[in-house]
Amino acid sequence: MKPETREGIRYSLTVFLAVRLGLLVLGLVAVELFPPLKPVSVPGWRAQPLPDPGWQNAFTSFERFDALWFLRIASGGYRVGDGSAAFFPLYPLAIRAVSWAMGGHPFAAALLVSNASIAGALCVLYA
């Protein structure tokens, strides 16, 4: 591997880790800064309420809005008439495959797929 490529990958992964850390901190702080909202669920997947401030909010803050649709599609597939057809299938398929490999944890699989995808994209586009 060329030294320039190695340096580009190192820089990309540094940016990735810095952004991820920043978003985790933001997830923790946002619960304190903003009033709690009633979680909005999607058909077939109930939104998790944000509990009291704590470390769990660093992750559960990402389980909102379109993420719920993708998790529901990954777990149960597309259904007629519920609006799930608006979401492209590659991400739910990847979540389902990784979830199967992880023993059936779709949210953990979604976090893994998302993080691996952005880290890979940063490395490919920058390095």
The predicted pLDDT at position 29 comes to 83
Paired with 118 in beta bridges are none
Whether 125 shows a pLDDT value over 90: the answer reads yes
CA distances (Å), origin 10, targets 5, 17, 92, 124: 9, 11, 29, 12
State pLDDT tens for residues 7-53.
Answer: 999 999 999 999 999 998 888 887 778 777 777 788 888 777 766 66
Place of tokens 């009291």: 52
Q: What are 62-82's pLDDT values in tens digits?
A: 787 899 999 999 999 999 988
∠ at Cα 117 (113, 121), nearest 5°? 175
Positive or negative, the Cα torsion across 89, 95, 96, 97?
positive
At residue 127, the pLDDT reads 78
